[in-house]
């Protein structure tokens, strides 16, 4: 399974104000506040775009990660939304970077709060999934992808998928052939 780590929530780890260096106090929920300058910092989920792509046999395409974190696990193609990007732009960019293809987004599948373990921090992210179709190019692993694979619903149960939400959405979506 995934690497054994003990990541901590930013609510516990972030102790100092990024504006003045004063001490943070946890005000409840996702709210940290500086005792010195009263600046409020909210720990929010970072959105990600994930693409669910099928082949002609309606097996789902997943990408095997080449690097840590989660090296060797299988994930959807996708990634974090950039500071100046829409979800759609992120999805298009990631498809290009990871597979070398152009995709068309077909429909929204759902979203799940998840945790991304990075540098000892449990980074909260909102995994947002779309069904997509390849409209140009042949998928080939590139960038941070070690391999791409196509899996039936049965094969997914044996696969090391680090995100429970992704597994759930695939199992649900593939229950009914379309």
* Site residues, Zn ion (CB under 5 A): 17, 19-20, 22, 34, 36-37, 39
Residue 21 C-beta: closest distance to Zn ion, Å: 7
Measure Cα distances from 74 to 150, 167, 169 in Å.
Answer: 11, 10, 14
Token output for 114? 């998840």
Strand partners, 124: 115
C-alpha 145/C-alpha 98 separation (Å) is: 6
Residue 23 C-beta: closest distance to Zn ion, Å: 9
Cβ proximity to Zn ion: between 41 and 112 the closer is: 41
Residue 39 C-beta: closest distance to Zn ion, Å: 4
Cβ proximity to Zn ion: between 34 and 103 the closer is: 34
Q: What angle do CA 119, 100, 55 make, to 5 degrees?
A: 100
Name, in order, each residue with C-beta under 8 angstroms of 147's C-beta and a sequence gap of 6 or more.
63, 64, 141
Cβ proximity to Zn ion: between 40 and 142 the closer is: 40
Cβ proximity to Zn ion: between 36 and 171 the closer is: 36
Residue 15 C-beta: closest distance to Zn ion, Å: 12
Cβ proximity to Zn ion: between 34 and 169 the closer is: 34
C-alpha 77/C-alpha 100 separation (Å) is: 11
Percentages helix, strand, coil for the chain (3-state, rounded to 5) are: 15, 45, 40
Residue 41 C-beta: closest distance to Zn ion, Å: 9
């Amino acid at each position: 399974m995934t690497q054994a780590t003990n990541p901590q929530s930013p609510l516990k780890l972030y102790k100092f104000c990024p504006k003045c260096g004063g001490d943070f106090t946890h005000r409840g929920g996702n709210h940290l506040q500086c005792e010195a300058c009263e600046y409020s910092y909210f720990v929010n989920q970072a959105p990600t775009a994930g693409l669910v792509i099928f082949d002609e046999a309606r097996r789902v395409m997943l990408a095997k990660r080449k690097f840590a974190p989660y090296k060797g696990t299988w994930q959807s193609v996708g990634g974090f939304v950039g500071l100046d990007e829409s979800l759609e732009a992120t999805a298009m960019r990631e498809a290009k970077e990871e597979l070398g293809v152009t995709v068309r987004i077909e429909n929204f599948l759902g979203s799940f709060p998840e945790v991304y373990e990075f540098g000892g921090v449990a980074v909260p992210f909102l995994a947002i999934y779309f069904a997509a179709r390849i409209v140009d190019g042949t998928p080939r692993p590139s960038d941070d992808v070690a391999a791409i694979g196509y899996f039936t619903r049965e094969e997914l149960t044996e696969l090391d998928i680090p995100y429970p939400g992704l597994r759930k959405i695939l199992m649900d979506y593939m229950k009914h052939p379309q």
